[in-house]
Amino acid sequence: MAVSMSAIQVTPKAVEKIRSAFAKQNVDGGLRLGVLGGGCSGLSYQFKFETKPRPTDQVFDFDGVQVFVDPKSMVFLDGMILDYKESLMQSGFAFDNPHATKSCGCGSSFSA
């Protein structure tokens, strides 16, 4: 069941990159966003493909791309914006998380 009001936002550019990655990997399902203990700043983002959501997941739909978030991760991800940024130096997904009090240089971990 998809949630109509998103507590997580995914930009159109990120949706397109996720859709492209699904097609390239020949994956059917959704993207799991989560938070795990560890990383340079204490918590790290989990980002992986899954075929279906777990029973307790919140499921978000962005233009046909499903994003699954477990209840414990939702505490840290509520209000987050997932974007995709490209520059001459690097390209990749960027997390704009209002719960992050500090982030590491690589942008893949944070502390809340």
The per-residue pLDDT for range 3-54, each reduced to its tens digit, is 445 589 999 999 999 999 999 999 889 999 999 877 665 788 888 999 999 9
- Do residues 69 and 77 lie in contact, with contact meaning Cβ atoms separated by under 8 Å? yes
- Do residues 98 and 79 lie in contact, with contact meaning Cβ atoms separated by under 8 Å? yes
pLDDT at 106: 47
Domains defined along the chain, listed by start: 2-111 (2.60.300.12)
pLDDT in tens, 62-75: 999 999 999 999 99
pLDDT at 32: 96
Highest mean pLDDT out of 40-44, 60-64, 87-91, 102-106: 60-64
